[in-house]
Chain A
Amino acid sequence: MSPSLQQAARLGAAVVREVEKVFLGKEGVVTHAVTALLARGHVLLEDVPGAGKTVLARALARATGGDFRRIQFTSDLLPSDITGVSTWSPRNETFTFHPGPIFAHVVLADEVNRAGPRTQSALLEAMSERQVSIDRESRPLPDPFLVIATQNPHEHHGTYPLPESQMDRFLVRLTIGYPPRDAERRIVEVNGYADKVEDLVVPVTTPEAILEAQRHVGEVTIPAPVMDYVMDLVERTRRHEGLELGISTRGAVSLMSACRARALLEGRDFVLADDVKAMLLPTCAHRVVPRGRGVQGSLVREEASAVLADLLARTPVPGD
C-alpha cells in the first residue's frame, strides 16, 4: 500500500473516530457515512425524528473541517431557497448572486419528503451535477460536497416521498435505529449531544485533504475474483423472483465505488468480498424494486433488504 493511500485510510479512520465521540453506539452508520463521503456520494437517512440524524451530519461537517448548512424542508420551500438568488444591485447596475444554503461542504437536508417535487429536484440536481444553474449561469458547489438527506418513512400525510427513480442519486441509504442500551444511557445522561457537537468535535482534516483522499479511492483495485463475485450477485438480483427490477449497471458502479471507499477505510488497497457484503444492502436496497404486493415506503426497503440478504447468503464468495 502506497504511503498516500495509507494517509487517506488514516484520514478516514480519524474522521470516523471523531464523529463517534458524539454519535454513540452506531459505528456502522458512521462508517457508511464516511464511506459515502470518500466515494463522493450522498447519504439518505431514513428514520424517525430524534434518532440523531442532525448530530451525525453536524459532527461529520465539523470533523472534516468543512462548512455546514442545514436546510429544513417544508412544503413551502422554494428551489431558490436552496440554491440562492441573484438580486439587482442598482448601484453597480449588475445582478449580485446571493448563494443559498447549499453552498457548503456538508449539507443536511432535513425531511426532504416534506417539500414539493420541484424543490426536491433542485436539490437532487445539485447533488448529481455538483453545481447549480441560476439565470443560465452555472455555479460550482464546494468540493468535497456531501448531502445528508433525511426522511421520515412513517409519516405519510402531506409528504411527497422521493420518487424511486431519484433514489439512486444517493449512494447509500441508512437507517439509524435506536442505540444500544449503554450508549443510549450515556446520551440521556449528558442530556443529548445535539448542542455539544461544536465543543467535542474538532476538525481532524481539511476539505482539501478529503479531496485528496477521494482521489485515492480510485486507486483501490478490484481483484478479478471479487469482480466476478460482484457480477454474480448483480446477475442474480436480475433473475431473482422476489425482485421486479434488479441492480442496474449504474447501481453496480455505485456499489463498487462504495466498496472501494470502504476498502480504503479498512486500510486496504484492494476490495474484498467482505466489502461487497457490507455495502450491498446500504447501496442497493433502495435501487431494486421488490415484486408486487403494493407495499410502500419503508416496507419496500425491508422487503428489498431481505431479498438481498438472502442472495448474499447463497452466493459463493471467491477463495477457499
Chain B
Amino acid sequence: MGRLANYVWRSDFFPRKLSFTREGRVVFVVAVGLGIAAVNTGNNLLYLVFGLSLALIVISGVLSETNLRGIRCDPMPEIRGTAAGTTLVVLRVRSVARRRPAYSLEAWPDVPGAAVVPARFLVLPPSGEAEGVVRLTFPRRGEFPVRGLVVATTFPFGFFRKALILPAPTRVLVHPRVHAVPGAEVPPGAPGEERGRPLPGAGGDFLGLRDFRPGDPPKWIAHRRSAGLDPPLVREFERLASPVIWVALSNIVPPGRDGDERLERAIEEAASLAVAAIRQGRRVGLVSLSGVVDPGAGEAQAMRLLDALATTPALEMNPPGVEGRLDEFLRRETGAEAVFVRP
C-alpha cells in the first residue's frame, strides 16, 4: 500500500490543486447566474453569453494546465530559518517546454504553519530558468516538514490559481531567536575580535583544510595538497587559548501556565549565549537532557548548536534530580567553563 501511495503521489496523477481567485469567484457566480437566467428566460443570447463565460472557464483550465506542464524545480537543500524574522529561500525553476513560454508563475515550499510570500516569475522563456526568492516567516523554532514544492499559476485570466505540487524531500530547521548578550565577556588574547571562526594562532593545533577565501594570507596555502584544485586549500590552525565553554540547558517545561513560554525563552537564551561565545572565537559545546553537541568553534559549530536547539524537545516529565545529570556531566568536563540555563 505504501508503495502504491508513493507511486500515486510521485506520478502526475493527483498533485494539482485548484482554487478560485477573487475575480474567478465573481466570474463563476456570474456564469451560474447567467445559466439560471438563460434557462428561465429562454433568451438565446443569454445562452450565448453563458456559453462564452463557460468557454472562458474551460479554456482557463486548459491553458493553466499547459502553462504548468514542463515546469521543473531544482531540489532545495535543507532550509534553515530563524524564528526571529523572515527567512529568504532561493528557488530555481526551469522550463523544459521547447516552444512555449510559461507565464505568471509562483513557487514556494509548502511548509505547514509558516507564512509564505512566494517567489514570482513573470515569464519563463522556453527551456529557460529563473531564480526567485521566497520569504518564509515561522511562528516558532523547531523542525518543520516540507510537504512539497508548490508551483502555481494564475495564467491565463487570473480566475483560478492552479498549483502543481512537486515532491521536495527536505525539511526546515527553524532556529531559536538570538539576541545580543550584553555581558558576554571578551576572551583573553583577542580583544574585540568578532570573527566567526577560530583565529590562526602561531603554533596552534592544525584544525583542518578548507577552501581559500579572499583575504587569507598566501602562506597558509597548502600547495602540495591543492594541486589542481580551484580554489586552493589552505591549512587552518586553531588559535591558542580557546577554552571550552559548555552551555547546559535544562529543557524541562517548568510548572505553571506559562511554562512553555519560559522554556522557549530559556532556549533563546541558550542560543544567544552559545552564539555570542562562538562569535568570540571560543569552543562551545551544548548539553541538554536530550543530547550533547561536542565542543567546537566556528560558524559550522554555531550552526550545529542552533540546529540542536531548534529540535530540542520540551520535556514534560520532571523526575526529581533529573537536572542533576547535567551537573554530573559538567563535573566530568574538567577545565571547561559552563553556563547553566534554566527556564
Chain A directly contacts chain B within the complex, with at least one CB pair under 8 Å: yes
A-contacting residues, B3-24, CB 8 Å: 10
Do A7 and B210 touch across chains, with their CB atoms under 8 A apart? yes
| Bound form: Cα–Cα A17–B209 in Å | 14
Do A10 and B233 touch across chains, with their CB atoms under 8 A apart? yes
Is B300 interfacial (CB-CB < 8 Å)? yes
Which residues of chain B are within 8 angstroms of A209 by Cβ–Cβ distance?
208-209
| Bound form: Cα–Cα A4–B209 in Å | 12
Is B340 interfacial (CB-CB < 8 Å)? no
Q: A2-B77, A65-B206 are in contact. Are A7 and B225 (CB under 8 A)?
A: no
| Bound form: Cα–Cα A14–B210 in Å | 11
Is A208 interfacial (CB-CB < 8 Å)? yes
| Bound form: Cα–Cα A7–B19 in Å | 44
Is B129 interfacial (CB-CB < 8 Å)? no
| Bound form: Cα–Cα A208–B304 in Å | 14
Cβ-defined partner of A14 (8 Å) among B206, B211, B225, B300: B225
Which residues of chain A are within 8 angstroms of B233 by Cβ–Cβ distance?
10, 14
Distance in Å from the Cβ of B235 to the closest Cβ of chain A?
Answer: 9
| Bound form: Cα–Cα A7–B77 in Å | 16
| Bound form: Cα–Cα A17–B227 in Å | 10
Q: Which of A17, A206, A212 has most chain B Cβ within 10 Å?
A: A206
Is B52 interfacial (CB-CB < 8 Å)? no
| Bound form: Cα–Cα A209–B235 in Å | 12
Is B207 interfacial (CB-CB < 8 Å)? yes
Which residues of chain A are within 8 angstroms of B10 by Cβ–Cβ distance?
224
| Bound form: Cα–Cα A206–B206 in Å | 7
Do B300 and A11 touch across chains, with their CB atoms under 8 A apart? no
Is A159 interfacial (CB-CB < 8 Å)? no
Q: A4-B300, A204-B225 are in contact. Are A11 and B209 (CB under 8 A)?
A: yes
Which residues of chain A are within 8 angstroms of B211 by Cβ–Cβ distance?
3, 7
Chain B residue nearest to A21 in the complex (CB): B224
Is A203 interfacial (CB-CB < 8 Å)? yes
Is B229 interfacial (CB-CB < 8 Å)? yes
Is A131 interfacial (CB-CB < 8 Å)? no
Which residues of chain A are within 8 angstroms of B207 by Cβ–Cβ distance?
206, 208
Which residues of chain A are within 8 angstroms of B229 by Cβ–Cβ distance?
10
Which residues of chain B are within 8 angstroms of A11 by Cβ–Cβ distance?
209
Is A205 interfacial (CB-CB < 8 Å)? yes
Q: Which of B169, B206, B222, B300 has most chain A Cβ within 10 Å?
A: B206
Distance in Å from the Cβ of B73 to the closest Cβ of chain A?
Answer: 16
Which residues of chain B are within 8 angstroms of A65 by Cβ–Cβ distance?
206
Cβ-defined partner of A204 (8 Å) among B209, B296, B300: B209
Number of contacting residues on B, CB 8 A? 15
| Bound form: Cα–Cα A233–B241 in Å | 54
Which residues of chain B are within 8 angstroms of A17 by Cβ–Cβ distance?
225
Distance in Å from the Cβ of B79 to the closest Cβ of chain A?
Answer: 12
Do B209 and A205 touch across chains, with their CB atoms under 8 A apart? yes
Interface string of B193-207 (1 = CB under 8 A from A): 000000000000011
Interface string of A1-39 (1 = CB under 8 A from B): 011100100110010011000000000000000000000
A-contacting residues, B268-310, CB 8 Å: 296, 300
Distance in Å from the Cβ of A238 to the closest Cβ of chain B?
Answer: 19
Do A14 and B209 touch across chains, with their CB atoms under 8 A apart? yes
Distance in Å from the Cβ of B143 to the closest Cβ of chain A?
Answer: 16
Q: A2-B77, A14-B225 are in contact. Are A206 and B300 (CB under 8 A)?
A: no
Which residues of chain B are within 8 angstroms of A7 by Cβ–Cβ distance?
210-211
Which residues of chain A are within 8 angstroms of B225 by Cβ–Cβ distance?
14, 17-18, 204
Interface string of A94-110 (1 = CB under 8 A from B): 00000000000000000
Which residues of chain A are within 8 angstroms of B209 by Cβ–Cβ distance?
10-11, 14, 204-205, 209
Q: Which of B77, B169, B229 has most chain A Cβ within 10 Å?
A: B77
Q: A4-B300, A10-B233 are in contact. Are A206 and B208 (CB under 8 A)?
A: yes
Chain B residue nearest to A4 in the complex (CB): B300
Do B77 and A205 touch across chains, with their CB atoms under 8 A apart? no
Interface string of B46-73 (1 = CB under 8 A from A): 0000000000000000000000000000
Which residues of chain B are within 8 angstroms of A208 by Cβ–Cβ distance?
207-208, 296
| Bound form: Cα–Cα A2–B75 in Å | 12
Interface string of A47-69 (1 = CB under 8 A from B): 00000000000000000010000
Which residues of chain B are within 8 angstroms of A4 by Cβ–Cβ distance?
300
| Bound form: Cα–Cα A245–B265 in Å | 56
A-B contact pairs, 20 of them (CB 8 A): A4-B300, A7-B210, A7-B211, A10-B209, A10-B229, A14-B225, A14-B233, A18-B225, A65-B206, A204-B222, A205-B208, A205-B209, A206-B206, A206-B208, A208-B207, A208-B296, A209-B209, A212-B300, A221-B169, A224-B10
4 cross-chain pairs, A with B, having the tightest CB-CB distances, nearest first: A209-B208, A206-B208, A2-B77, A14-B225
- Residues on A facing B (Cβ under 8 Å): 2-4, 7, 10-11, 14, 17-18, 65, 203-206, 208-209, 212, 221, 224
Q: A208-B207, A209-B209 provided; 8 other pairs, C-beta below 8 A?
A: A2-B77, A3-B211, A4-B300, A10-B233, A203-B206, A204-B209, A208-B208, A212-B300
- Residues on B facing A (Cβ under 8 Å): 10, 77, 169, 206-211, 222, 225, 229, 233, 296, 300
